[in-house]
Structure 1
C-alpha cells in the first residue's frame, strides 16, 4: 500500500487559498464575456512552485503528486462555483423579479446546487471512468502534472511566463482604470455605433488563445452577421430608433433585438448536437453498453450525502423563491439526468454544456409549469449548478485514478472547495455588481449568459407575442440554421465537423459587443500563428501565457471595483 502524502493540511489549505484568489477572476470574466477558465493547471503550477521552493529552504517533505491533485481539486472546485448561477440565472432572476437575494442566503443556495453535483459525480465516477471516456481537460492536467514533476525546471519556466503575462495584463488594466483611459480606436462613427471598436484588453486576447481558432473565427463571423449585418439593417430600416443625442456604441438598444436570434441559434444547435450524438451511439450499440449504465445503488455515507444535498436544494427553493414543494422536488431528477449528460459531453469533448443544460431545464419546466419565471430560472439553476460541479469533479477523478489518489479524499476536497467558492464567489459578484438592474446588459458588463437565460425565461413565460415580429423571423432562421449545423456536428467525424462554425460562439457574438468578439478572434489567430511556427514551444506555453493574461486583468478589475466602492 502506498504511503505517499495525499490529503495533508498543507495541500488543503493551499487549495483553499488559491481557490479564494482565483474565484473572483472567473466571476469577473463570466460577467464580462460569458466564459470562465478552468483553474486546475494554474493552481497546479502555483502550488508546485511555492512548495518546491519552500521544501528546499526549510527541508520539509517534498510536495507530492497526490497532494497536487488534492490541491487542484479544491482550487478548481472553488473557481467553478460560477456554474452555481452567479453569472447567469441569479442575475436574470433579479432583472425579472426586481428582488436581490442577500449574501448569506445566496451563499447557501449556490453551495446547495453545487453540493448536489458533487454527490451525483460520486455515483457516476465508476460507470463513466470505466466507459473509456478520455476527459481531455483532466488528461491535460495530468500530463502537465507529470511533466513538471519529471522536470522541475519546466514548472519554474511556466510559472515565470504565467506571472509575466499577469503583470502585463494587470498593469495595462490599472493604467486604463486609474492613470489614463486608453483610447478605443474605431474605423468610423457609424461602425462605432455598431460596437466595432478595438478594446485594449489583454484578457480578451488571452481568452482568444484559450478557445482556439475555430471558436475565435466563429465569434468574428457572428459579430459581422449580428452587428455589421443585422445591426446596420435595424438602424437603417428604422426598426430601432435612437435618440437624437445618442452617441457612441449603441449596445443596449441593439442587443434587446439581437439576443433573440442569438439565443435561438445557441439553444437549437446544442440540443440538435446532443440528439445527433445520442443517435450515433444508439446506432453503434453504445447507448446500451452496460459499462456506462446506471450507477450503483446508493448506500452508507454517500446515500446520506445525496439525501442531505437533495433536501437542502428543495428547502431553499421553497424558502428563498416561494416555489411549490412538488415542483421543487421535480427539479431533482431532471438535474441528476442533465448532470449525467454534461459529464458525458465533458468526457468526450472537454466542453462543459452548462448553458445547454440550463436551457433544457428551462424548456422542460416551461412545458410542465408555464408562466412561472422564477421556477423556470431556479430549476435551470439547479440543473446547471449540479452539472458544473459534477463535470469538474469527474475531471479530477480522472486524474486521481491515474495517480492513485483516494476518491473519498478527493470528494472531501471538492466539498471544501465549493464551500469556500460559495462565500468568495457571492462576495465577488455583489462587489462587482451592486446594482444589477442598472449595471448588467450594458457595454461595460454585457453579461451574455444573463441575457440568454432572461430571454428564454421571458419567452416561455410571456410567449413570443412579446417579441418584435422582425425578431421572430430572425429567430426562425436561427433555429433552422442552428439545428442543421448542430446535426452536422453530431453526425460528421471530428476531422470534418471542425470545419463547421461553432454555433455557441456565433450565437454568443450576438449578445456581446462586436469589440469583444474582434479582440478574442485576434487572440485566437495569434495563438494559431504561434502554434504553426513554433509548435513544441507553443504547446508548452500558449495556455499558460493566455491564463496569465486572463488572471491579471481579472484581478485588477475586481480590485478596481473594490476601490470605487471604498472611495464612495
Structure 2
C-alpha cells in the first residue's frame, strides 16, 4: 500500500489552469536528471525501510519538488546568476526521484522476501537488481501505450497527479513558503535521525508497558518518529482504524487464543510475543484485507461501466516506434523468469497478458480514485497462478510479482503524465526520466534491502521487522500451495469470518455516500492491524490524533507544514536506520 504525500485541495480543472504557462526551455537537462538521481538515492531506502516495517510506502514526488526547487533557486538567489530552475526541470526531477522510490512495488518488500522465506533461496544482488528493473520497465511501456486514452479521459482525475501539480504550482507562486516547508522537513529529519541514532548507538530508549501481559501482547511504547510521521500522513480515519484493529486483534483475540490454548507460549516467555501470535492472527487479517479490496475494486469497475464509461475515448495507440521498447521489456521479463526462477517458458509467457490486463485495471482505478490497488492486483495474480500452477510456490509468487511490479510503475508514470499534460511537458522525455529512475531505484533498493535484511529467515516477521506485506504474500502462497486442508479448523473459521466482514465493509465503503464513508473504519487499516505489532498501530494512531488536535487549533499551520514534517520524520529515521545497518555490516566484515 502506498500513502499519498498530499491530497488535492481543488478540482483537476482548476489545478491545471493555475499552472504558469511558459515555453519549454529546459526539460531533460543534465542537472534535472542528476538532481532526481541524487534524491532517488536518498529517498529509495526510506521506502524500503518503511515497507519492511509497516507495509506502506511514501510517495516522494512532492518532497523531490521541494528539495530540487529549494536547492537550485537557493543557489540562484545566493549567487545572482545562472539559469533558473524551470517548471519542466522540476517535473523531470520529481519523475526520476519518485520512480526510484516507488521501486518497492517491484517486489522488494513483498513477494521477493516471501519467496526466500518459503524456499530458502535468495538471489544474489545483480540478478535481483535485474529482476526488479525488468518488471518495472515492463510497467513503464504499458503506461506509455495507455497514456493517450487515459490521460485525455476527462472522467479520470488522477488525484495524486493533481496533488503533485498543485504543489508544483504553489511552489512557483510562493517560493518563500516552499523554502519554509523545506526547512521544516530538514529539521524534522534531523530530529528523527537523532532519536534513531541515540536509540541504536547510545542508550536504548525504554519500551515501557503497563504490565507483563501488555508487554507480551505488544502494547508497549515504541520510540519511532517514523511511525509518528506516517500517523500525520494517514489522517484520523485510518489512524483510528489501526487503533481499533489493534484492540480487536491484540487486545481481544490474542488473549482469547492464549486462554483457549489455540496459541501456546513457552513458560519462560517474556517481552513481546509477536512472532508466535501473528502466525494465527495474520489469517483473519489477510482474508479481511484481500476480500475488502477485491469487493471494492469489482464494484468500482462495475459502477464505472454501468455509469457510461464505455463512451470514454477508446484506446488510441501512439506512434509504433516505441514498440521495440515494449517488446524488449516483455522478452526481459520472460527470460528472467526462466533463468532466475526456473519457471516453464509457457507459464512465464502467460504472466505477460495477465500483467497487462491488471496494470490497465490499476491505472483506471488510480485515475478515478487515487488509490493504487497493488495489493489486490498481487492477490488476483496469485489466485490466477494458484489455479494454473497449483502447488508451485515460485510460479505463484514471482509470476504474480510481474503483475504487481508492472502495475506499480504504470500507475506512478500515469500520474506523472497527468502533470506533464497540464504543463506542456514532452511525454517521451518523461518516459526517459522514469527509466533513469527505475535504474537508480533497482540498484539502491536492492542494496538497501540486503543491508537491512541480511538474513530474511531469522529477521522477517518479527517484532523489529513485521513486514506485513511479506506475511500476506507468504500466507496466500502457502494456502494455495498446500490447500486450506493444511490449516486447523479454528483458522478456517477465522478466515471465513474475516472474508465475510471484509467483503461487507469493502462493499459499504464503495456504495455509501462520501459523508457516511468517513465514519466507517478503513478496511485496509483494520486488517493491517492484525499483522502489525500493537505498538506500531498505537504510535501511528497517536500521530494521527496529535495532527488532528493541532489542526483544530492551528488549521492553516497544519495544512501548510504537516506533510513536510511527516516526510522529514519518515526520511530521517529510515535513512538513519539504513546507515546503522550498513555500519553493522562493515563492522562484521572487518
TM-score of the aligned structures, taking structure 1 as reference length: 0.98
* Residues 92 and 278 of structure 1, relative CA distance in 2, 3 Å threshold: same
* Residues 299 and 315 of structure 1, relative CA distance in 2, 3 Å threshold: farther
Instruction: Name the counterpart of 1:122.
Output: 144
- Say which SS state the counterpart of residue 72 (structure 2) adopts: helix
CA distance in 2, matches of 1:484, 1:200: 36
Could you tell me which of 376, 380, 384 is aligned with 1:356?
376
Residue 118 of structure 2 corresponds to residue 96 of structure 1: yes
Question: Which runs of 5 or more residues in structure 1 are unaligned?
Answer: none
Question: Which runs of 5 or more residues in structure 2 are unaligned?
Answer: 1-21
Instruction: Name the counterpart of 1:49.
Output: 70
- Note the C-alpha offset of 1:139: 1.2
Matches within 5 A, 1:3-14: 3-14=24-35
CA distance in 1, matches of 2:267, 2:258: 13
CA displacement, residues 536-555 of structure 1 (integer Å, 9 cap, x when unaligned): 22211111111110000001
2:24–2:424 contact (8 Å) kept in structure 1: no
Instruction: Name the counterpart of 2:531.
Output: 511
Matches within 5 A, 1:204-243: 204-243=227-266
Instruction: Name the counterpart of 1:410.
Output: 430
- Note the C-alpha offset of 1:511: 0.8
Could you tell me which of 4, 20, 42 is aligned with 2:41?
20
CA distance in 2, matches of 1:554, 1:344: 32
Matched residue pairs, number? 565
CA displacement, residues 317-347 of structure 1 (integer Å, 9 cap, x when unaligned): 0000111111111111111111112122222
Could you tell me which of 135, 153, 156 is aligned with 1:131?
153
CA distance in 2, matches of 1:279, 1:22: 37
CA distance in 2, matches of 1:239, 1:454: 21
Instruction: Name the counterpart of 1:451.
Output: 471
- Note the C-alpha offset of 1:528: 1.7
Instruction: Name the counterpart of 2:15.
Output: none
- Note the C-alpha offset of 1:66: 0.4
Residue 388 of structure 2 corresponds to residue 365 of structure 1: no
Could you tell me which of 84, 93, 101 is aligned with 2:106?
84
CA distance in 1, matches of 2:480, 2:232: 36
1:280–1:491 contact (8 Å) kept in structure 2: no
2:292–2:503 contact (8 Å) kept in structure 1: yes
- Note the C-alpha offset of 1:299: 4.8
CA distance in 2, matches of 1:83, 1:216: 23
CA displacement, residues 72-92 of structure 1 (integer Å, 9 cap, x when unaligned): 000000000000000000000
Which stretch shifts more, 121-130 or 61-70?
Answer: 121-130
CA distance in 1, matches of 2:167, 2:317: 35
CA distance in 2, matches of 1:146, 1:440: 42
Instruction: Name the counterpart of 1:275.
Output: 298
CA distance in 2, matches of 1:539, 1:328: 47
- Note the C-alpha offset of 1:3: 4.1
- Note the C-alpha offset of 1:212: 1.2
CA distance in 2, matches of 1:314, 1:3: 39
Could you tell me which of 32, 52, 55 is aligned with 2:53?
32
Could you tell me which of 255, 280, 284 is aligned with 1:257?
280
- Note the C-alpha offset of 1:468: 2.1
Residue 571 of structure 2 corresponds to residue 548 of structure 1: no
Instruction: Name the counterpart of 1:151.
Output: 174
- Note the C-alpha offset of 1:211: 1.0
